[in-house]
Amino acid sequence: IADMILERKLNKLEARIDSKFPFAEDLPRNVKDVMIEMCYQLGVGGFSKFKQTITLLRLGNYKEAADEMLDSRWATQTPNRAQKLASIVRNA
């Protein structure tokens, strides 16, 4: 049951991300998964504050987007997660 609840939450979250950030549908799956994970952790509103990262993702500039992700309070607060997710984006 817990897996079903989580799957529903993630599906709703992904739909919300696609609505707020239409370019996300065209991202490589692993990059979109990073967005989903960040939005799950921070909320869509919290992720929305990563304006430069979002712009760079939309432009397909993944290396700079990863750098911007790491230049944040979020990266300081959750360094292991931030490094892992930035690495995924950087290598997309």
Q: What's the confidence (pLDDT) of residue 13?
A: 96
Q: What's the confidence (pLDDT) of residue 86?
A: 98
Q: In terms of Cα–Cα distance, which of 24, 41, 29, 28 is closest to 80?
A: 41
pLDDT tens-digit series, residues 5-56: 999 999 999 999 999 999 999 999 999 999 999 999 999 999 999 999 999 9
Q: What's the confidence (pLDDT) of residue 34?
A: 98
Q: Helices 62-70 and 51-59, interaxial angle, to 10°?
A: 170
Q: What's the confidence (pLDDT) of residue 22?
A: 96
Contact indicator for 51, 79 with CB cutoff of 8 Å: no
pLDDT tens-digit series, residues 79-88: 999 999 999 9
Q: What's the confidence (pLDDT) of residue 26?
A: 95
Q: What's the confidence (pLDDT) of residue 52?
A: 98
